[in-house]
Structure 1
C-alpha cells in the first residue's frame, strides 16, 4: 500500500465515520475508497463493516446518557439486529465477486434514493413519554430486514433505521440517532464475526482506515448538533450518485 492510498483511506474513514454519526451513509465513502484502491468488491464490503465499527462505538458512547434510559425496548431491537445481520452476512459470503459486483451499482442507487427520501419517510417525533412504552413485536419485525440489509451491504443502513425507528419509537431526532448508533454497532459486530470467519477482511486497509473512522464517529456527534442536516445529506447524496454512476 502506497502512502497516498493510506492517506486516502484514512480521510475516507474520517468522513465516513462522521457522516454515519450524523445520519448514516458513510459506507458510500469507505466502500468506494477501498474499491478504488483495488480491493475486490466482497472484501471491500466486508472490510468496510470492520472499519465502521470504531465509529459506531464512539458515536454510541457519545450518546450513552440517552441510551441508558431506553430500557427493555432496546434489547428487543438488539436481538432482531443480531439475527438479521447474521443472515445478511451469510448471504454476502454465498456470492462470488462477479455476482456481487453486478449488484453493487443497483444497491448504491437504491440506497442513495432511500437516503434522499429519508426526511419524507420519518414521521413527526412523538412525546418522549410514549417512547418508553412497550410496542410489542412491531419494532423487532421492522428492524429485522434492516439488519439483514446491514449485514449484507450496509450503505444507507443508517437512514433506513432512522425511518423504521421513527415508526415505532417516540422522542426527538437525537434519541432516534442514539438508538440507531447502538443498533448499528450490534449489526456490525455480528457481520464482522461472520466475515472474519470467512477470511474476506483486508486487514491492511483496516489499519489505515479504522483510526479515521473512530475520530470521525466522535466528531460526527458534535457535527450533528451544529451543522444543518440538509448540508450533510446533500453531500451524502452526491457521493452516492457519483459512485452509482461510476460502478454502472
Structure 2
C-alpha cells in the first residue's frame, strides 16, 4: 500500500463513519475504496466489515443519551449476535452472485418502508396498539432479519434497521437511530470476531480505515441528534434510494 492508497482509505473511513452514524450505508464508501486499492471483492468485503466496527462504537457513544432503558435493549442483543453469525456463515460458505441480485431490492424495500411509514403503520397497526407479546416478537423479527443481512454484506445496514425499527417501535426517530447504532455495533463486533478467525482480512487496510470511521462515527452521531425528525427521515430515504440503485446497477453491470 502506497501513500495515495492510504490517503484514499483514510478519507473514505472518515466519510463512512459519519454516514453510518447519520443514516447507514457508509460501507458503500469504504468497500469501493478497498476495491480501488487492489483488494479482491471478498477480501474487501471482509476487511470493510472489520474496519467499520470502531465507527459503530463511536456512534453509540455519540447517541447514548437517546438510548432507551437497558431492560428493553438486553433481549435484542442475543438475537443480533445470532443473526449476524448466520450472515457471516452465508458469506463465507455460499456464492455471492445470487445474494448480490437480492440486496438492492432489500435496500430499496427498506427505504420504501421508512418513506411510507405512516400508511404502513395504519395498515399493520401502531406499535402502541399492539399487545406486549406481539410487539416483542415483531421487534425481534426485525432485528433478526436486519442482522443476518449485516453479517452477510452490511452496506445500508443502518437504513434497513432504521426502517424496520421505526415501523415497530413507538419512539422518536432519534431514539430509533440510537438503537440502530447499538445494534450496528453488535453486528460489527460479531463480524470482527468471525472474520478475524476465518476470513481473508487485510489488516493494513483495517489499520487505516478503522480509526477514521471512529472519528467520523462520533461526529456523525452528534450531528444527527440535532437534526429535525422530518429532515433526518428525508436524508435517510434519499441516501437509501441512492444506495439501492447503486447496488442494482453494480449487480446488473
Normalised by the length of structure 1, the TM-score is: 0.85
With over 3 angstroms needed to count, the CA separation of the structure-2 counterparts of 1:107 and 1:215, relative to structure 1, is farther
With over 3 angstroms needed to count, the CA separation of the structure-2 counterparts of 1:93 and 1:217, relative to structure 1, is same
Hey, what does 1:39 align to over in structure 2?
39
CA RMSD of superposed structures (Å) = 2.8
Determine helix, strand or coil for the equivalent of 2:55. helix
Hey, what does 2:249 align to over in structure 1?
245
Determine helix, strand or coil for the equivalent of 1:25. coil
Hey, what does 1:164 align to over in structure 2?
164
**Cα distance in 1 between the residues matched to 2:237 and 2:147:** 22
Q: CA deviation at 1:110?
A: 3.0
With over 3 angstroms needed to count, the CA separation of the structure-2 counterparts of 1:211 and 1:233, relative to structure 1, is farther
Q: CA deviation at 1:89?
A: 0.4
With over 3 angstroms needed to count, the CA separation of the structure-2 counterparts of 1:172 and 1:120, relative to structure 1, is same
**Cα distance in 1 between the residues matched to 2:93 and 2:47:** 16
Determine helix, strand or coil for the equivalent of 1:63. helix
Q: CA deviation at 1:122?
A: 3.6
Runs of at least 5 residues in structure 2 that lack an aligned partner in the other structure:
none
**Cα distance in 2 between the residues matched to 1:158 and 1:218:** 15
Whether 1:72 and 2:71 are equivalent positions in the alignment is: yes
Determine helix, strand or coil for the equivalent of 2:160. helix
With over 3 angstroms needed to count, the CA separation of the structure-2 counterparts of 1:77 and 1:39, relative to structure 1, is same
Deviates more, 1:113-122 or 1:135-144: 113-122
Assess if the C-alpha contact under 8 Å between 1:16 and 1:25 holds in 2. yes
Mapping 1:91-130, distance limit 5 Å: 91-95=90-94, 99-100=95-96, 102-103=97-98, 106=101, 109-110=104-105, 112-114=107-109, 116-117=111-112, 119-123=114-118
Mapping 1:1-248, distance limit 5 Å: 1-67=1-67, 69-95=68-94, 99-100=95-96, 102-103=97-98, 106=101, 109-110=104-105, 112-114=107-109, 116-117=111-112, 119-123=114-118, 135-224=135-224, 225-226=226-227, 228-229=231-232, 230=234, 234=238, 237-238=241-242, 241-242=245-246, 244-246=248-250, 248=253
With over 3 angstroms needed to count, the CA separation of the structure-2 counterparts of 1:128 and 1:88, relative to structure 1, is closer
Determine helix, strand or coil for the equivalent of 2:136. coil
Q: CA deviation at 1:5?
A: 1.0
Structure 1 moving runs of 4+ over 6 Å: 126-130
Normalised by the length of structure 2, the TM-score is: 0.83
**Cα distance in 1 between the residues matched to 2:43 and 2:241:** 24
Q: CA deviation at 1:118?
A: 5.1
Q: CA deviation at 1:127?
A: 10
With over 3 angstroms needed to count, the CA separation of the structure-2 counterparts of 1:60 and 1:73, relative to structure 1, is same
| Aligned pairs, number | 241
**Cα distance in 2 between the residues matched to 1:115 and 1:11:** 28
